[in-house]
Amino acid sequence: MKSKNNNNPERLLKIILAPYVSEKGTFIADKNNQTIFKVMTDANKNEIKAAVELLWKEQKVEVTSVQTMNVKGKQKRFGRFMGRRSDWKKAIVNLKQGQELNLNNYTTSEVK
């Protein structure tokens, strides 16, 4: 398998799609200093780490580890037809002790 070491800023700004907010996610954010994101399905752990550090570089955030998992889309009924939601990828980002992400300042502006 060919590894991608593609850390150009344009790609890194597109990797993180949205923070994933759930009850379980809030619990692990408080307990283990972790944050959950929806990311592009072809992103790897090194790219996710670089993207988080780039987007929150004003806060000087350091990522210690990243865990990823592929989430299968659910089957849903649309009228009399069965359909399927899209598969997506979830990333659990572990931050250095004492740091936290301020999701209110989440910006996807150009890199300076």
- What would the pLDDT profile of 65-99 be if each residue is shown by its tens digit? 999 999 999 999 999 999 999 999 999 999 988 88
Tokens describing residue 81: 């037809």
How would residue 1 be classed by pLDDT, with cut points 50, 70 and 90?
very low
**CATH label, 9-98, candidates 3.40.640.10, 3.30.310.80, 3.30.70.330, 3.40.630.10:** 3.30.70.330
> Where in the chain does DSSP place strands (E)?
16-19, 34-39, 63-71, 75-78, 81-84, 88-95
Tokens matching residue 65: 């580890």
Is the pLDDT confidence value at 110 over 50?
A: no
pTM of the model: 0.81
Parallel, antiparallel or unpaired: strands 88-95 and 63-71: antiparallel
pLDDT of residue 58: 86
